[in-house]
């Protein structure tokens, strides 16, 4: 059919490599996936009436996303462990049918030469997907900004100039609230305006507009309310007339101060410490497969959910089938609607989508291994994002273990805490999230995230300080809570053994099987929303610090692309995963872990929030799984006894100066501005 013909063209013309799934620990390749590249646009549009233009209008059919479909776990394990056939490789294709009023998901395969496509929307979600649940595309943003220019800025030109200094050289930028409405089927967005300066997110001006943009016919869009300096108005005309009559409390124009700039305030001094491997890297990266000491795993980057690893082995035993990011949510408090109604679900615009090039020596060690990624989401062709993943071995500056024997058998024994880090950083609007999966030599695995970037802020009005602190003149840093959901599909001692965790939080719960299992340690920020609130269903995974469910291929993720804009009737309601009351005895189990932290912004968040103290995650560590600490067998172990202080036999540190030389570093390059969203030509 025409969909197959069009998709084949992706492979014919470019065939970019998106490496997403497994090689096992002995090097047996399972999947190195080609997920699609470019296409002959004219043939595509002619055959399908589907546009791939970046400025596709809301009333057109639009190919929004092409992404990997993870194969059924049973098929993968048959291939990896029992010499079964290679699982069929398929892609998920998302089309926004603006001309027809709905969203469809297709399963297309086999890759790389597809011969079929199936509509799997109802199979995956049990319902049809309304068009109102779609993500705002680049094309819709362009039309939305044009609407604001014509219907808001032009009629209020005098107000905008006198209050904010807006003119040809001084513009205002828009930043919107989500979800878009207060009930299912709505598409109403509060849009707040900020000075067009560095770090615009901390430059609010005190002007917000509620735009109704449900219809795909943009002539039916309207401005429903406006907020100016804490005062509400029913229409543009009402605000204009009241302002002209002097019947409003006006904002006094102030000079534009670029306090959000990240340009250095001082001149560089001597170079800071750098992490180097004096005898070369002790890990290897081949395509999407990593080997490090006793560890091996395959990795990928989903456009929607971000980082994930598969087939994680330690000492040639699989301990994790999958460890992945599922969702990043932030819930805000404010008296103004732009922030007060905000509940961001980042996978709905794409967490992995915003992984750009990492800066050597800052985002990752200079001599780390960098990996390109390729994505197709809201673009006219697949995009290459250079060096958007990094892998490196990190010395944490502390011993993993040590003991100095003072009383008896004088000696020192210890081991430096070196671990492998798999990292990406996603810049989702104002916030930058640094995602790390860390593999330790004692068999522990940690998944963690740190937040940096700019806080979201609002204009300081009456009662605003109930919801945050003033962080700059007229600027309120709004209180908010971050919640991060991880998926850990543990295959300790095989997929059909019960998985038990001992974890530590506000209360301590212990589930132990002697001599088996892993231990999870985490902290939690608190409750997200009362379950009585209608939006809570879309984020019901946050009810549970740890939730254990039976593995099901149709329960692949805890959230969805459509949750943000249809919170009241979400396509994925995680609470249904555990309300089916199925027995989990001797089943293949999955742990869904929620971590988070409260952020009350303060003056030191200007210009940027720092990573220190702003993070969370989950730690999985052995609990009676081994007979002893696995790190005792590490070649990094050091032992010093009386008279052997200068011997290299059990202490490589003694001969480090003689055996190493200065590292050879690659020239610094940066291509991170490729593939950024552009709202203007």
Instruction: Convert the pLDDT of each residue in 423-447 to its tens digit.
Output: 999 999 999 999 999 999 999 999 9
pLDDT of residue 7: 55
First to last CA, the chain: 35
Residues 6+ apart with CB under 8 A from 432: 425, 426, 451, 452, 453
Token couple for 278:
């004096």
> How many residues belong to the chain?
681
Cβ atoms of 356 and 676 within 8 Å: the answer is yes
Measured CA to CA, the distance from residue 181 to residue 189 in angstroms comes to 6
DSSP 364: B
Cβ atoms of 465 and 481 within 8 Å: the answer is no
Measured CA to CA, the distance from residue 551 to residue 570 in angstroms comes to 21
Out of 67, 311, 346, 432, the active site residue is 346
Of the chain, the percentage scoring pLDDT greater than 90 comes to 72
Instruction: Specify the pairing of strand 445-453 against strand 431-440.
Output: antiparallel
Q: What angle do CA 640, 643, 647 make, to 5 degrees?
A: 60
DSSP 272: P
* Tens-place pLDDT, residues 224-258: 999 999 999 999 999 999 999 999 999 999 999 99
Measured CA to CA, the distance from residue 66 to residue 380 in angstroms comes to 11
Instruction: Report which of 191, 42, 76, 103 is spatially closest to residue 561, judged by C-alpha positions.
Output: 103
pTM score of the predicted model: 0.89
Q: Do you find a cis peptide bond into 110, omega within 30 degrees of 0?
A: yes
Measured CA to CA, the distance from residue 428 to residue 65 in angstroms comes to 18
What is the mean predicted confidence (pLDDT) over 539-556? 93
DSSP 143: H
Q: What is the mean pLDDT of the chain?
A: 87
What is the mean predicted confidence (pLDDT) over 99-119? 92
Whether 625 sits among the annotated catalytic residues: the reply is no
CA of 198: how far to CAs of 194, 207, 606, in Å?
11, 19, 12
Instruction: Report which of 129, 143, 142 is spatially closest to residue 95, judged by C-alpha positions.
Output: 129
Q: In this structure, what is the dihedral angle of CA atoms 611, 612, 615, 619, given to the nearest 10 degrees? A: 120
Instruction: Report which of 610, 678, 617, 612 is spatially closest to residue 454, judged by C-alpha positions.
Output: 610
pLDDT of residue 434: 98
The values of phi and psi at residue 123, to 5°, are -60, -40
pLDDT of residue 268: 83
* Tens-place pLDDT, residues 587-646: 899 999 999 999 999 999 999 999 999 999 999 999 888 999 999 999 999 999 998 888
Measured CA to CA, the distance from residue 615 to residue 596 in angstroms comes to 7
Give the pLDDT band of residue 75 (cuts 50, 70, 90): very high
Q: Is the confidence at residue 471, as pLDDT, over 90? A: yes
Measured CA to CA, the distance from residue 43 to residue 22 in angstroms comes to 34
Measured CA to CA, the distance from residue 359 to residue 673 in angstroms comes to 12
pLDDT of residue 665: 74
Give the pLDDT band of residue 679 (cuts 50, 70, 90): low
> What's the gap between Cα 273 and its chain centre?
29
Cβ atoms of 560 and 347 within 8 Å: the answer is yes
Residues paired with 446 in a beta bridge: 438, 619
Q: For the beta carbon of residue 386, count every other beta carbon within 10 angstroms.
A: 17
CA of 623: how far to CAs of 418, 456, 585, in Å?
21, 41, 20
pLDDT of residue 673: 73
Window from 1-10, 457-466, 502-511, 538-547 with minimum mean pLDDT: 502-511
DSSP 149: I
pLDDT of residue 377: 96
What is the mean predicted confidence (pLDDT) over 196-225? 97
Residues 6+ apart with CB under 8 A from 362: none
Measured CA to CA, the distance from residue 595 to residue 598 in angstroms comes to 11
Cβ atoms of 455 and 429 within 8 Å: the answer is no
Measured CA to CA, the distance from residue 378 to residue 364 in angstroms comes to 28
Residues paired with 228 in a beta bridge: 207, 231
Measured CA to CA, the distance from residue 117 to residue 125 in angstroms comes to 17
Token couple for 293:
């000491």
Cβ atoms of 61 and 49 within 8 Å: the answer is yes
Of the chain, the percentage scoring pLDDT greater than 70 comes to 87
Residue 77: helix, strand or coil by DSSP?
Answer: helix
Measured CA to CA, the distance from residue 298 to residue 20 in angstroms comes to 8
Measured CA to CA, the distance from residue 381 to residue 578 in angstroms comes to 39
Cβ atoms of 572 and 618 within 8 Å: the answer is no
Measured CA to CA, the distance from residue 369 to residue 292 in angstroms comes to 13
Instruction: Specify the pairing of strand 204-212 against strand 222-228.
Output: antiparallel
Instruction: Report which of 535, 523, 534 is spatially closest to residue 484, judged by C-alpha positions.
Output: 523
pLDDT of residue 670: 66
Cβ atoms of 607 and 504 within 8 Å: the answer is no
pLDDT of residue 656: 76
Token couple for 642:
């009386």
pLDDT of residue 270: 87
Task: Name the E strands within 132-250.
Answer: 172-176, 188-195, 204-212, 222-228, 231-233
pLDDT of residue 449: 96
Whether 311 sits among the annotated catalytic residues: the reply is no
What is the mean predicted confidence (pLDDT) over 81-91? 92
Token couple for 101:
């009023």
* Tens-place pLDDT, residues 490-537: 987 665 544 444 433 222 222 222 334 455 444 456 677 888 788 999
* Tens-place pLDDT, residues 4-49: 544 554 443 333 333 333 333 333 443 333 322 323 333 333 456 8
Out of 62, 228, 374, 431, the active site residue is 431
């Amino acid at each position: 059919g025409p969909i197959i013909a069009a998709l084949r063209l992706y492979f014919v013309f470019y065939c970019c490599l998106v490496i997403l799934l497994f090689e096992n620990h002995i090097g047996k390749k399972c999947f190195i996936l080609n997920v699609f590249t470019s296409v002959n646009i004219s043939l595509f549009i002619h055959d399908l009436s589907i546009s791939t233009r970046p400025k596709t209008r809301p009333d057109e059919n639009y190919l929004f996303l092409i992404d990997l479909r993870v194969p059924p776990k049973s098929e993968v394990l048959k291939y990896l462990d029992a010499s079964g056939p290679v699982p069929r490789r398929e892609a998920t294709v998302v089309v926004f049918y603006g001309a027809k009023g709905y969203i469809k998901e297709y399963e297309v395969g086999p890759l790389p030469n597809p011969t079929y496509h199936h509509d799997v929307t109802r199979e995956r979600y049990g319902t049809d997907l309304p068009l109102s649940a779609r993500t705002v595309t680049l094309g819709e943003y362009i039309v939305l900004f044009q609407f604001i220019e014509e219907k808001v800025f032009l009629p209020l030109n005098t107000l905008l100039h006198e209050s904010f200094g807006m003119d040809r050289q001084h513009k205002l930028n828009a930043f919107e609230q989500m979800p878009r409405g207060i009930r299912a089927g709505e598409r109403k967005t509060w849009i707040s305006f900020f000075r067009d300066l560095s770090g615009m997110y901390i430059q609010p001006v005190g002007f917000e507009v509620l735009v109704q943009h449900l219809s795909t016919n943009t002539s039916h869009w309207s401005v429903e309310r406006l907020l100016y300096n804490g005062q509400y108005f029913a229409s543009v005309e009402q605000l204009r007339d009241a302002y002209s009559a002097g019947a409003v409390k006006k904002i006094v124009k102030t000079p534009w101060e670029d306090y959000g700039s990240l340009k250095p305030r001082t001149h560089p001094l001597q170079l800071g410490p750098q992490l180097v491997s004096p005898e070369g890297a002790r890990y290897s990266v081949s395509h999407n497969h990593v080997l490090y000491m006793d560890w091996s795993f395959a990795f990928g980057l989903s456009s929607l959910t971000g980082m994930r690893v598969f087939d994680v082995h330690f000492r040639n035993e699989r301990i994790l089938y999958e460890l992945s990011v599922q969702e990043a949510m932030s819930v805000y408090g404010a008296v103004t609607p732009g922030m007060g109604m905000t509940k961001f679900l980042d996978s709905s615009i794409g967490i992995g989508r915003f992984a750009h090039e990492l800066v050597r020596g800052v985002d990752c060690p200079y001599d780390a291994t960098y990996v390109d990624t390729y994505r197709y989401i809201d673009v006219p062709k697949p995009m290459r994002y250079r060096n958007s993943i990094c892998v490196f071995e990190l010395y944490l500056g502390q011993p993993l273990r040590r003991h100095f024997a003072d009383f008896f058998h004088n000696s020192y024994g210890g081991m430096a805490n070196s671990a492998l880090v798999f990292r990406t950083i996603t810049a989702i609007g104002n916030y930058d999230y640094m995602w790390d999966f860390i593999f330790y030599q004692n068999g522990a695995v940690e998944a963690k995230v740190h937040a940096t970037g700019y806080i979201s802020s609002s204009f300081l009005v009456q009662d605003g300080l109930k919801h945050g602190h003033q962080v700059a003149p007229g600027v309120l840093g709004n209180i908010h809570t971050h919640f991060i959901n991880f998926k850990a599909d543990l295959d300790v001692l095989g997929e059909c053994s019960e998985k038990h965790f001992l974890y530590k939080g506000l209360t301590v719960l212990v589930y132990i099987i002697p001599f088996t299992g892993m231990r999870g340690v985490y902290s939690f920020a608190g409750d997200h929303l009362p379950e009585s609130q209608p939006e809570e269903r879309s984020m019901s995974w946050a009810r549970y610090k740890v939730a254990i469910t039976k593995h099901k291929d149709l329960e692949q993720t805890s959230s969805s692309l459509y949750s943000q804009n249809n919170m009241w009737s979400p396509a994925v309601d995680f609470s249904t995963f555990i309300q089916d009351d199925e027995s989990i005895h001797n089943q293949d189990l999955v742990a869904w872990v929620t971590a988070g932290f409260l952020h009350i912004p303060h003056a030191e968040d200007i210009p940027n929030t720092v990573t220190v103290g702003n993070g969370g995650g989950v730690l999985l560590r052995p609990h009676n799984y081994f007979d002893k600490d696995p790190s005792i067998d590490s070649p990094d172990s050091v032992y010093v006894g009386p008279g052997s202080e200068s011997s290299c036999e059990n202490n490589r540190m003694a001969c480090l100066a003689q055996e190493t030389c200065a590292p050879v570093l690659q020239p610094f390059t940066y291509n991170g501005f490729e593939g950024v969203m552009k709202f203007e030509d």
